[in-house]
Every structure is written in C-alpha cells, then in structure tokens.
Chains A and B, each alone.
Chain A
Amino acid sequence: MTPLLQLDAVTKRFGGLCAVSAARLEVQAGHTHGIIGPNGAGKTTLFNLITGIYTPDEGAIRFEGTNIAGFRPNQIAARGIGRTFQNIRLCRDLTVLDNVRMAYDVRLTSSTWSALLNLPSHRREEQRSIEGSFELLKAFGMDAMAGQLAGGLPYGLQRRLEIARALALKPRLLLLDEPAAGMNSAETLRLMEFLRWVREHFDVTLVLIEHHMKLVMGLCDHITVLDFGVTIADGTPAEIQGNRRVIDAYLGEEVEA
C-alpha cells in the first residue's frame, strides 16, 4: 500500500545549520503517527516543510502520490493537509466563527465577480459556509462563543479552536505540533480522548509532535524519532521503547521513571 505521506531524503538548511537532513518518513493512511525528539531536533521544521512554509533544499515530499515539494502553503492545504502551530497562530482579531470560516472557504468555488456583485450563487455559497462552520463549532462544543474574538479565548480553547480550524479544511492528514504543551496530566488524558474522537469522527490521519510520552505511546501506531535533523529510529511504540539509541538520545530518564 502506498503511504499517504512519504518524505524521501528531505533536507533543509538554515545558513550553516542543517535543521533536517535526509529525513525519511512514511505515514500510512488511517494511522496515528508520532514524531518525537529533543528540542531543536527539527520536528517543527519537518512540519513546515510538509505544509510548504519552507521549501526543501533536497528531497521529495509525496502526498497521495504527488510530489508537493515547492507547492505554496495554500495549495497544499487545499490538497488536504491541515495543521496546528507550536505557538498558537489564530487570527486574534477575527471572531471564532471567522477563524473557522477562513479555512472552510477552500471548498467554495464562486467567482470573483459573483462576490463583488453579491450575486445569488455567491450568497448561497456564503450561507453554506456559515452553516458548515457553525456545525463544526457545535461538534467542538464551541458554538456558544462563535461571535467572540479568537484572541480573547482562554489558552486551552485557543488550542482547540486551532484544531477545529484545521479540520474545517476537511483534511485527510492533520499535523499537530505539540498539542499537549502546557497541559497537566489530567488535561493531557482528556486531550488523548479528544484526539481519539477527532480521529474517528473526522476520519483523518494524525501526525503529532509531542513530548508527553504517555500520550504518544497511548495514541500512536507508529513513531519516528529525530535527533539533530536525522531520523534515528522508526517503528512501533514497543520497538521505540526498546531502542538503545533512542533511550540514549532522549528517552533515558522518562522510560526509567
């Protein structure tokens, strides 16, 4: 079976620093894939490469068989890759609903002229975008705050909204960059349940960067370990937990603890 996402010897340099070097990654459709590694290992850079925010210096990124390296971020998003950011990047001065709508809009097709002249076809489409976005917010239990400014939400809800926004793209692949950052263990457990629900309900393949080992081990079917931009291990949670190199590089204390 061809993987949903396949990175082939992808390299990205910043000046002299090789943030990602010859990285390989295969994500199977339907799986939940974890990416772990110490800070500065190049995990976020990997996400930025996949979503077109950076272009790789070398290598191919294949999504559903197409090499998307060099595509612009919005083209990649429209193809079905959604993401969240390590430092939340919502449109703070827009309402919660509008944050969702801006992603929901990728599937709208009405022309520029019909928008400028507010023609009926365009009006119908906008109406659908409002309703669809509301529905999504309702599923996330956030419809009551649809009219609030996104920047005014508490931190936890902002993280949740970022996921909702990414899902409004109806993506087949969802990249989550440290979704549990800043959460205590009770909250992390709830996040784990929430992500399970997302996986089922939206029928989406998840890739998550995480430091919480319980979350990663509990949720992921497959794990890739990065260190200094290099893939040092790749396998099932059980294989990773037993891997000497990983324990040396990163897991050491946490596995013993």
Chain B
Amino acid sequence: MPTPRTLGSSVAGCRWALPVLAASAFLAALLHQQWALFNGYTEFVLITAGINIILCASLNLVNGYMGEFSVGHAGFMAVGAYAAGLLAVKILPGATPVWAFPLVVAFGGVIAAAIGFLLALLSFKTRGDYLAIITLAFLMIVKSALENIPFTGGPRGLLGIERLTTLPQTVAWVIVTLWVIRNLVYSKFGRGITAIREDELAAGAMGVRTREAKILAFVVSSFFGGVAGSLFAHQLQFINPATFDIIRSTDILVMVYIGGVASLTGSLLGAVLVTVLAQLLQPLGTWRAVVMPLTLVFLMLFRPRGLLGLREFAWLLPGRELLQRIKEKSP
C-alpha cells in the first residue's frame, strides 16, 4: 500500500471503473480484429504501447515499489523473447494455433522468471549500486550468450517467427499484468516490498520476510518482462541480441521514471507517453538516443519521483483499500 495520495475518490464510481475500462478496451480490440478499425500503423503503435505498459509496470515493481535500481529489464525481455521464439520456431512442429499462443507467451515469462529468481538470490547480500551493476552484468551476459550460442541464431538473430501478437492478445496481457501487479502491491507482500524500499533493516525487525518479498518482486517482475519479450518477438517476427541492449533498458527506465515510481497509473501514463514520443522523435535518428537519457537526467533533477510518483488513481485500487481510504479520512 505505497500510495498515500489518491487521485479521485468516489468509491461507488471507482469500484466499477476498472472492470468497465478493461472490458471496453478488450472489446474494442476484438472489434478491431474483426473489422480492422485502425490502420496498420496505428495498430502497430497500439501493440507497442501495450508491450511497453507491461514492461514499465513490471519494472516499476522492482525499481519503484522496492526501490532497487535494475538496469537489466531488457535482459528479461530478451530471455522471454528468445524462449518463446525458439519454442514456436524450433521446438513446436508446424504453425502455432492461436489458442496456444498465450501458452507460448507464458512459457517465455516462466523462463524469464526462473532467471529472475536467480537474480533475486543475488539481491540478498547486495543492494544499491552493486545490485545495479549486477543487473547490468546480467544484461551483458544474456546478450553475449545469445550472440555466441548457434541454436539461438548467433548475432544475426532468430528469423521466421510468426506474427501472432494481435491487439486483443496484447490488451488481454496488459490487463492481466496490471491486475496481478496491483493485487501483489496491495497485499501483505506488497507492503513488505515497499517496506524494503523505505528501510530494509527496520522492515526485517518488524517481521517482514524480506527475502521472500525480494524473490516475489523479482520473479513477478521478470515474468512479465519475459511476457513482454514474447509478445515483442511475435510482433516483429525477428529478434537479434542487439535489440535488447542497454538502450532498450534505458527506454523502459525512462517510462518508469517519467510516469512515476510506485504507481501503476504512472506506469500506464509513462509507457504511453514514451511510445508516442518515440514515434514523434523518429526523424531525429540517433539523436533520439540523446534525448531519452537527457530526459531521464532532467527528470531526476526536477521531479525525481516522476509525474505520478507514489500516487494512484482510485479506480486502480482494490475495493477494500478504497474503503480503508474512506475510513482513514473519517475515523
């Protein structure tokens, strides 16, 4: 429960807002699938935005709620993308049926989560700068390993992935991601995770199972990082190790810190903003890679918690938390 301030507060209205929003987004995606409401470019941008929301929300769990600084999220994305891509291209025979695609995506997530678990073990002893370096090393190792293993296609990458990432599938995964992360964050585990950010030592002395909380944060975060990677691979139909470099991690970091740390509303906003911005900055070419980190530096200087840091729209909260807010206001 890391959100002291709530944006919007009418309980009655809020309780239905999330299901209604989610359902209508999914419905719109289905309608589009049927009658092609949007043109190809718009569809591409929408799917990219969806993948970015998943990446941003899942990284926010570790970097925002838990207050660590992971620069390795592109690594989890790579693991997910390759795991799902290889499964679909090299292991499963024939074309992947549409109904099986969620399983392929989930497979990418599970493999990424397994790696995330290992990284979590490393986070028991090290924190802050050192942990940041560990995540960086992880990213480099993943990239370098993918370049050197012939099975994954080496530096040239993996070709011939089917185009299975449709808008409805993406929207569904976005909803699942936000729902699960919200459930986690507003549970006893989420309180443990935020307590670690605030004061790990005091949290431990107050009974917070810090190791379990760290494992959970890393595993869930990397799972959805892997899911995003799987979707990404099946959107572009081609992946290579260079796609998942530190620049991609930086892009996700910018989303998290623009939108706001420890806020799912913020992640939604940040991911969409950055996606749109990236499209607008396309003509700048390599200067884009200057603008993004520069934005990050300015954000840190002038609004270190991002636009909606530590705040949440009321409609994203579970019902009982909402009631709690009301009670807090009039005890």
Q: How far is the CA of A77 from the CA of B206 in the complex (A)?
A: 6
Q: How far is the CA of A94 from the CA of B198 in the complex (A)?
A: 8
B167 at the interface (CB under 8 A from A): no
Q: How far is the CA of A82 from the CA of B204 in the complex (A)?
A: 11
Contact A112 B207 (CB under 8 A): no
Q: Which of B134-191 contact A (CB under 8 A)?
A: 179-180, 183-184, 186-189, 191
Interface string of A151-169 (1 = CB under 8 A from B): 0000000000000011011
Tell me the minimal C-beta distance from A209 to chain B in angstroms.
Answer: 15
Q: How far is the CA of A122 from the CA of B319 in the complex (A)?
A: 13
Nearest to A100 among chain B residues (CB) is B206
Interface string of B286-306 (1 = CB under 8 A from A): 000000000000000000000
Nearest to A51 among chain B residues (CB) is B205
A255 at the interface (CB under 8 A from B): no
Contact A105 B207 (CB under 8 A): yes
Contact A169 B198 (CB under 8 A): no
Q: How many residues of B contact A (CB 8 A)?
A: 40
Tell me the minimal C-beta distance from A194 to chain B in angstroms.
Answer: 20
Interface string of A98-128 (1 = CB under 8 A from B): 1001110110101010011110001101110
Q: How many residues of A contact B (CB 8 A)?
A: 51
- Which of B195, B320, B327 touches A91 (beta carbons < 8 Å)? B195
- List B contacts of A149 (CB < 8 A): 4
Q: How far is the CA of A83 from the CA of B318 in the complex (A)?
A: 31
- Which of B4, B180, B189, B205 touches A83 (beta carbons < 8 Å)? B205
Tell me the minimal C-beta distance from B208 to chain A in angstroms.
Answer: 6
B220 at the interface (CB under 8 A from A): yes
Interface residues of A (CB under 8 A from B): 51-53, 72-74, 77-78, 82-83, 85, 89-95, 97-98, 101-103, 105-106, 108, 110, 112, 115-118, 122-123, 125-127, 129-130, 134, 138, 143-144, 146-149, 165-166, 168-169
